[in-house]
Amino acid sequence: MAPVPAARRGTPNPATYFRRTPLILMLLIGGVNAYHAWTLFAPQTIPYDKLGPLGTLTKYLLEHYNTQLRIWFVTVWILHALWAFIVLKLCKEKGITDHTTQVRWFAQTITFGLNSLFFLWIYKPPMKTNEGFKQKTT
């Protein structure tokens, strides 16, 4: 996937560049994270029999790998927080100076992780010139 300049994405001002994670990824990641939290914090409320193979797998993992599931849960959220702070640094490096936009990047990354960070990572801001902004040519 080639980097997409801000001007072609419909954001004329690089200080406010933001790209939302695709909806399908938001639903998938949000669902997996919610299910993981549900299994750890309220396992007695899970209808294992009604979930078919997923219920059987969940019950097995909770009975045999509960500690590892808890460690994985905490690790995932620590990584998401780390990536969110990396996003703040990248925003400054790429000229995204609008505070609201930085908060949007931070919130999206802490929620969806690398799927958000990726879009900021590949973003190529236009170069500043005397006339304003000019696109980089590579």
With CA atoms as reference, report the closest residue to 79 among 16, 33, 26.
33
Q: What does each C-alpha distance from 98 to 88, 103, 128 come to in angstroms?
A: 11, 9, 17
pTM of the model: 0.76
Does the pLDDT of residue 68 top 50, yes or no? yes
Does the pLDDT of residue 131 top 90, yes or no? no
Point out which residues pair with 128 in neighbouring strands: 133
CA dihedral (80, 85, 86, 91) positive or negative: positive
135 token code pair: 């696109």
Which pLDDT does position 43 carry in this prediction? 95
Per residue in 78-126, pLDDT (tens digit) is 999 999 999 999 999 999 999 999 999 999 999 999 989 999 999 998 8
Per residue in 4-36, pLDDT (tens digit) is 554 445 556 888 999 999 999 999 999 999 999
Instruction: Please give the residue that has the higher pLDDT: either 131 or 112.
Output: 112
